[in-house]
């Protein structure tokens, strides 16, 4: 009988438009395997919100495979060791997988290729890093020319159908998903996640279908936190429950400025992978040398106030509370909250990156790092540090009153005029501002000037 083929799954938990699965199915019986790897050197263990999502996504994929008379094999340990062990147990000679660009996965792929016949496929991004280059033949570092060049190449292909799967004569042993304890027990902080999200490939397709009805208005509505104007596809894309090719081709059937803006967001995912492909430690150190000597403040109390949504700035606190409750935050508010931590509180952007890593259901090594360094001004392509977002201006500008009422209920009775910056005598139990905006701005600019002065010595 034909030897089985392993399909190594990571963040590609779907059956449709799954190039690795399709290629393996054409070779022989398929054994899909997911390894929960908390041991690979350099690997970041998944945060709590991501582990919650992973549990439900794996459950959904297991059910989908069952409808094809197949199974999902679960193993826990160091990925390469577990895959080599599984190949020896099953007689599998080859492994198919979709490429990943986090530094630990690139290292694991290289190590596995030296042990087994490994076939790597594109599939998690519209274009692989390095697929488009500058006129000099080098990878892009700046988003705008990258996006312009990438747009000329897209779409590259049509999505693949689900393959017909053949099962091996004997299935290897699998861990029980429940034994991995990916879900919280006590305290059970996931009630908001359960209420807000459905996980898996079918749920991802439902989210895409819903978004297509409002995609034309995306350019306007994506900036309004009180409006359901974003796609909410980010965690589905992150876990590979739907491919960016499926999404790109679906929105191509729509017209309007909103569609163009949304395509730009999809290309930002690719751009972020290009950045970490060139700079693997991007989440650990500032790209710009001068920021490596920036005098960040160390204040556990201020960091905790930001994390808990107790800064006294309603738009910031609404976002941080939404994040804790649902594992997600509106994209406009993410920028405001990140800017507040970095520039109002002068706390190192890496503290925010780590908090988002633990609390976001769409926590992504590349996107998270690139976005935080963009706000900090320390990145390869970044906003200027001196452009300091004013939360009290941003909040009414983007009509956040309804959003604040939902997530900061102690202010719900205030008028639209007062809720963005409550008067001291109307705050009730809501905290006073942790720092005044003007004071914070001057302090940030002074720290920036000191950094520039030191760099010029």
- CATH fold of 5-123: Rossmann fold (3.40.50)
Q: Which residues of 272-310 are buried (b: 16+ CB within 10 A; e: fewer)?
A: bbbbbbbbbebbeebbbebbeebeeeeeeebbebbbebb
Indicate where the chain has its CATH 1.10.579.10 domain(s): 289-451
One of 39, 265, 290, 410 is an active-site residue; which one? 265
Judge contact between 312 and 422, C-beta under 8 A: no
Please indicate, yes or no, whether the overall pTM of this predicted structure exceeds 0.85: yes
268 is catalytic: yes
Indicate where the chain has its CATH 3.40.50.620 domain(s): 5-123
One of 8, 52, 53, 268 is an active-site residue; which one? 268
Judge contact between 39 and 78, C-beta under 8 A: yes
One of 328, 355, 372, 407 is an active-site residue; which one? 372
Residues 275-330: tens digit of each pLDDT: 999 999 999 999 999 999 999 999 999 999 999 999 999 999 999 999 999 999 99
- At residue 205's C-alpha, the angle toward residues 8 and 354, to 5°, is 60
One of 296, 383, 406, 410 is an active-site residue; which one? 296
**Element holding 94 (H helix, E strand):** strand 94-98
Indicate where the chain has its CATH 1.25.40.80 domain(s): 125-156+201-278
Identify the CATH assignment for 289-451 out of 1.10.10.10, 1.10.579.10, 1.10.10.60, 3.40.50.10070: 1.10.579.10
349 is catalytic: yes
- CATH fold of 125-156+201-278: 1.25.40
331 is catalytic: yes
List the chain pLDDT tens, one digit each, 457 residues. 689 999 999 999 999 999 999 999 999 999 999 999 998 777 689 999 999 999 999 999 999 999 999 999 999 999 999 999 999 999 999 999 999 999 999 999 999 999 999 999 999 999 999 999 999 999 999 999 999 999 999 998 999 999 999 999 999 999 999 999 999 988 899 999 999 999 999 999 999 999 999 999 999 999 999 998 999 999 999 999 999 999 999 998 887 788 999 999 999 999 999 999 999 999 999 999 999 999 999 999 999 999 999 999 999 999 999 999 999 999 999 999 999 999 999 999 999 999 999 999 999 999 999 999 999 999 999 999 999 999 999 999 999 999 999 999 999 999 999 999 999 999 999 999 999 999 999 999 999 999 999 887 5
Q: What is the DSSP letter of 200?
A: S
181 is catalytic: no
Long-range contacts of 309-313 (CB under 8 A, 24+ apart): 309/407, 309/408, 310/431, 310/434, 311/340, 311/431, 311/433, 311/434, 312/430, 312/431, 312/432, 312/433, 312/434, 313/340, 313/391, 313/392, 313/433, 313/434
């Amino acid at each position: 009988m034909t030897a089985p083929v392993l399909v190594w799954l990571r963040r590609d938990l779907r059956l449709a438009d799954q190039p690795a699965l399709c290629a393996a199915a054409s070779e022989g019986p398929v054994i899909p395997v997911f390894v929960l790897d908390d041991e690979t050197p350099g690997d970041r263990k998944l945060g709590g919100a991501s582990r919650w999502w992973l549990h439900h996504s794996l459950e959904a994929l297991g059910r989908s495979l069952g409808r094809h008379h197949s199974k999902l094999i679960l193993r826990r340990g160091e990925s390469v060791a577990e895959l080599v062990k599984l190949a020896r147990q099953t007689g599998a000679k080859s492994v198919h997988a979709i490429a990943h660009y986090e530094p630990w996965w690139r290292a694991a792929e290289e190590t596995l290729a030296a042990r087994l016949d490994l076939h790597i496929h594109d599939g998690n991004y519209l274009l692989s890093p390095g697929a488009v280059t500058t006129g000099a033949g080098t990878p892009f570092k700046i988003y705008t020319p990258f996006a312009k060049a990438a747009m000329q190449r897209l779409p590259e292909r049509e999505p693949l159908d689900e393959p017909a799967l053949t099962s091996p004569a004997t299935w290897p042993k699998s861990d029980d998903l429940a034994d991995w304890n990916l879900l919280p027990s006590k305290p059970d902080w996931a009630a908001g996640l359960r209420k807000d999200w459905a996980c898996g490939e079918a749920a991802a397709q439902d989210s895409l279908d819903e978004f297509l009805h409002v995609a034309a208005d995306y350019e306007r509505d994506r900036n309004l936190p009180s409006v359901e104007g974003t796609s909410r596809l980010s965690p589905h894309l992150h876990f590979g429950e739907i491919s960016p090719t499926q999404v790109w081709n679906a929105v191509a059937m729509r017209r309007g400025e909103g569609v163009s803006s949304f395509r730009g967001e999809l290309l930002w995912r690719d751009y972020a992978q290009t950045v970490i492909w060139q700079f693997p430690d991007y989440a650990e150190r500032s790209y710009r040398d001068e920021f490596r000597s920036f005098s960040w403040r160390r204040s556990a109390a201020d960091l905790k106030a930001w994390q808990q949504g107790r800064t006294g700035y309603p738009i910031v606190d609404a976002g941080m509370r939404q994040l804790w409750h649902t594992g997600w935050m509106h994209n406009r508010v993410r920028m405001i909250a990140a800017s507040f931590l970095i520039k109002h509180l002068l706390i190192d952007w890496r503290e925010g990156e780590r908090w988002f890593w633990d609390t976001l259901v769409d926590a992504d090594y590349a996107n998270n790092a690139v976005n935080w360094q963009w706000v900090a001004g320390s990145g390869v392509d970044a906003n200027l540090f001196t452009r300091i977002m004013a939360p009290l201006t941003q909040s009414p500008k983007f009509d956040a009153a309804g959003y604040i009422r939902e997530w900061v209920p102690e202010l719900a009775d205030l008028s639209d005029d007062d809720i963005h910056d409550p008067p001291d005598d109307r705050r009730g139990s809501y905290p006073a501002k942790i720092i005044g905006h003007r004071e914070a701005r001057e302090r940030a600019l002074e720290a920036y000037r000191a950094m520039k002065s030191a760099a010029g010595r």
